[in-house]
Amino acid sequence: MRLLVVEDDDPLREALERTLTQAGYAVDTAANGVDAEHLGDTEPYDAIVLDLGLPRRPGLEVLRHWRTRGNAIPVIILTARDTWQEKVDGFKAGADDYLGKPFHVEELVARVNAIIRRRHGETKGAIETAELRLDEERQTVTHRGQTIELTGTEFRLLRYFMLHPGKILSKTELTEHVYDFDSDRDSNVIEVYIRRLREKLGDGVIQTRRGQGYVFGSKT
């Protein structure tokens, strides 16, 4: 899964990028509202963490522009001005969640996980499908009672599959959601990781649709 973090404070932005990467996300960053708005409109993010006090264009204006254009990507807004009015303004502009500074990064990770699960109809606090249960904190998966260790890329790929069961996913789409903007996004590498997941989970979990992509098992 792929995130955009928009924060003009360099140390905080770098800390958030590092923490969210460790939490199993591909992370892009922006330091001002203009770049953020462009990236949010042109890249297929799964969620955005958006500071409101940005140079060049305020975060609230960026969010309003996205929603006016029909961009429905889940957005968590950050602000140092933790007032009820700013919360209301953020939600009116289309925010999905709100976090006031200072905050614990663990809380942000939990909120990001939650809004992505909710967007895909997962309300149980965990991602479960096709006899699999994904542990987002440990980045492991349990299959029929057995816990299976995953690499970072395997985890991101499997999480995306599990949130889109029964849907045909092309190699291009998978690549765009598994790697950040600066990665060498060779879609053929996806085949390698799909083969590794099949070796760990069994051949029947991920099916190939020739000329179209891949299909992950239906929800239970």
Residue 182 has what pLDDT? Answer: 67
CA–CA separation, 77 and 70 (whole Å):
18
Query: Is-contact 24 150, C-beta < 8 A?
Result: no
How is residue 215 written in tokens?
């299909």
C-alpha triplet 77, 81, 85: angle, nearest 5°: 80
How is residue 58 written in tokens?
């305020």
Query: Is-contact 81 69, C-beta < 8 A?
Result: no
* pLDDT (tens digit per residue) in 130-157: 789 999 988 999 988 899 999 999 999 9
Report pTM.
0.86
Residue 183 has what pLDDT? Answer: 67
Nearest to 205 by CA among 153, 139, 157: 157
* pLDDT (tens digit per residue) in 70-102: 999 999 999 876 677 888 899 999 999 999 888
* pLDDT (tens digit per residue) in 34-70: 999 999 999 999 999 999 999 999 999 999 999 999 9
Residue 62 has what pLDDT? Answer: 98
Going by pLDDT thresholds of 50, 70 and 90, the confidence category of residue 219 is very low
CA–CA separation, 83 and 201 (whole Å):
48
Residue 217 has what pLDDT? Answer: 82
In this structure, what DSSP letter does residue 145 have? T
Going by pLDDT thresholds of 50, 70 and 90, the confidence category of residue 186 is low
What are the residue boundaries of the structural domains of the chain, listed by start?
A: 2-119, 127-216
Per CATH, the number for 2-119 is 3.40.50.2300
CA–CA separation, 46 and 177 (whole Å):
8
Query: Is-contact 34 56, C-beta < 8 A?
Result: yes
CA–CA separation, 98 and 119 (whole Å):
16
Going by pLDDT thresholds of 50, 70 and 90, the confidence category of residue 220 is very low
Give me the phi and psi of 213, to 5 degrees please: 150, -135
Topology adopted by domain 127-216: Arc Repressor Mutant, subunit A (1.10.10)
Q: Where are the beta strands (DSSP E) in 61-131?
A: 75-79, 97-100, 127-129
CA–CA separation, 192 and 217 (whole Å):
19
C-alpha triplet 9, 57, 182: angle, nearest 5°: 60
Beta bridge partners of 149: 140
How is residue 107 written in tokens?
């809380």
